[in-house]
Chains A and B, each alone.
Chain A
């Protein structure tokens, strides 16, 4: 399974766009990239998933370059409520054993 590397923590301010990058140099051809969000004392929540190029939903965008060795989660116009830990997961279709790293702790300041 592909190993992922993310920054341990990031700070930003309300109203800014935040980009969190995840490195996955040994990603395999059949691996997909998934991002989760976890608030304190809660279970993780699925945000977005992609294979290549760009994926957008009502919450975030996911940018994946052609070589797929990294991915960037983009959160537009963040608010204080976006303060959370964000996890990048990489794995193949129908693999039940997702590997979770320590994630990126994002702190949004007023």
Chain B
């Protein structure tokens, strides 16, 4: 049971380039989330999904897109990378069996992205 896995671990992008951050979970969780964390700050929600085919915007969605074609995978797409997107990106998932389970999120190891 690998939990939540993310690839790549590190990436450097040039301004204007695009990339996809991959996230996979093997816990059969319906809920999945993408966060970004800037140095010394808390996490900010980018997008979330409550099941395959269903996604919604979080607090800071501009410049990002997501898709959820399967329960396991929740990729995050960055289009036209900008220096403001330099951050650590975390993917998380949670069980949907009880109303409180959304609070018990399982996080991946993160992707450290630098845009120069």
Asked if chains A and B come from one complex, the reply is yes
How many residue pairs link A and B with beta carbons under 8 A? The number is: 62
| Contact with A98, one of B50, B100, B103, B110 (Cβ below 8 angstroms) | B103
- Give chain A nearest CB distance to B9 CB in angstroms: 10
Number of A interface residues at 8 Å Cβ cutoff, please give it.
Answer: 23
A63 within 8 A of B: no
Query: Which residues on the A side are within 8 Å of B107 (C-beta)?
Result: 42-45
Which B residues, 81 to 116, have Cβ-Cβ distances below 8 Å to chain A?
A: 90, 92, 99-100, 102-110
Residue of A nearest to B3 (CB): A43
Query: Which residues on the B side are within 8 Å of A93 (C-beta)?
Result: 99-100
B33 within 8 A of A: yes
A91 in contact with B108 (CB, 8 Å): no
B90 in contact with A91 (CB, 8 Å): no
Stretch of B11-19, B38-46, B67-75 that contacts chain A:
B38-46
A70 within 8 A of B: no
Query: Which residues on the B side are within 8 Å of A94 (C-beta)?
Result: 99, 102
| Contact with B43, one of A49, A96, A100 (Cβ below 8 angstroms) | A100
